[in-house]
Amino acid sequence: MAQAKHVALEPIPRTLPLTTLKTREQVIHSNASASLIDLGDGVACLEFHSKLNAIGGDTVAMMRTAVEEVERNFTGLVIGNEADNFSAGANLALILLEIQNEEWDVIDQVVSAFQQANQALRHMTKPVVAAPAGMALAGGCEICLAADRIHAAAETYMGLVEVGVGLIPAGGGCLALLQRGSEGLPDKVAIDRFPLVQRIFETIGLAKVSTSADEARQLGFLRASDPVTVYRDALLYNAKQSVLDLAAQGYTPPLPGMVQVAGRSGYGNFLAGLYNMEMARQISAYDRHIGRKLAYVLTGGDVPDGSQVPEQHLLDLEREAFLSLCGEVKTQGRILHMLQNNQPLRN
């Protein structure tokens, strides 16, 4: 009689359903757009739950609350949810309404608050792990970039897509990609930064969106060390383990530092390239205008080649470019067209 073969079964992935935790009174703070939930073992979860998980004032307020609460009472933070999409970015309808009402100070304050919330996440003394799945676009992508680690679902579609509505990333996305691209490079050695900045410019300027977590790594959104989870339902559990792993390794936060930029020569190179693209009818005159704004931010503004600039300098450039573009009629047309047709307008 033949002996039966014993086949080892794959372990069933562990899950951490937020809906169950909510019924167990694990919610620490909550508002209309976001909640902070106790996942156990000293780890909290910042969950978005607005329509399309769009980022608005309530979301940003809960981000700041999460930082304060985790700093006081927790080991670390997961940013994730169980929706089909992590976050589709800012509430465009609200932005357009503020533009139409010429509430420039309000827009400036909103963008600044989002920048500072992301900076607070990045520099808090406890580890932060973002757990995106589905779409993580624009501001949703920027929140992920603020985390110490991105533990993504395999089917994650990440991108900084603001140029599609006539804007540029202004929540720290330009800063974050410059910093990630420079990781491993010597800080105080003069290196030609233009090839690095050119890749980032193409990623943002062409509104590239990854078709998977692996492609997000190729585009520079994920680091080589960032893990990926195939089984979507196990994502939050695995992200929680990532937080605990970082804490066990003796986590130390990144200090606010200086960023080396390409400077005036790099900006001049972009201007020449954009001019040639318009002359070849590869881009419109307004695409070129947006490209100039983006290039100015990514090269550090009006500074000598290879300058070291503080993080806040780049954040200020992001915000100034964003506000300037908000005032442009063609940007307003692009935003309205996206809201009405769910596709970008070339004007």
pLDDT tens column, 73-106: 999 999 999 999 999 999 999 999 999 999 999 9
**Count of positions (residues) in the chain:** 347
Own/partner contacts of 203-207, CB < 8 Å, gap of 24 or more, are 203/160, 203/177, 204/160, 204/162, 204/163, 204/168, 204/169, 204/173, 204/174, 204/177, 204/294, 204/298, 205/163, 205/290, 205/291, 205/294, 206/163, 207/159, 207/160, 207/161, 207/162, 207/163, 207/164, 207/344
Distance, in Å, from the CA atom of 218 to the CA atom of 232, rounded to the nearest integer, reads 21
**pLDDT (0 to 100) of residue 9:** 47
Strand partners, 159: 137
Is the CB of residue 263 less than 8 Å from the CB of residue 305? yes
Choice between 25 and 126, residue whose per-residue pLDDT is larger: 126
Q: If DSSP codes are grouped into helix, strand and coil, which group holds residue 225? A: coil
pLDDT digits (tens, 9 = 90+) for 240-258: 999 999 999 999 999 888 9
Residue 20 has pLDDT above 50, yes or no: yes
Confidence of residue 3 (pLDDT cuts 50, 70, 90): low
Q: Give the model's pLDDT for residue 17.
A: 77
- CA dist 320 and 312 (Å) reads 12
Mean pLDDT of the chain: 93
User: With 80 as the cut, is the pLDDT of residue 134 above it?
Assistant: yes
The predicted pLDDT at position 105 comes to: 97
Tens-digit pLDDT profile for residues 294-331: 999 999 999 999 999 999 999 999 999 999 999 999 99
* 12 DSSP 8-state letter: P
- DSSP code at position 90: B
Residues 227-252 as b or e (16 or more Cβ within 10 Å = b):
bbbeebebbbbbbbbbbbebbeeebe
Specify the pLDDT at position 14. Answer: 83
- The predicted pLDDT at position 186 comes to 65
Q: Is the predicted pLDDT of residue 267 greater than 80, yes or no? A: yes
SS in 3 state form for 39-77?
Answer: EECCEEEEEECCHHHCECHHHHHHHHHHHHHHHHHCCEE
Q: Return the CATH class of domain 18-341.
A: alpha beta
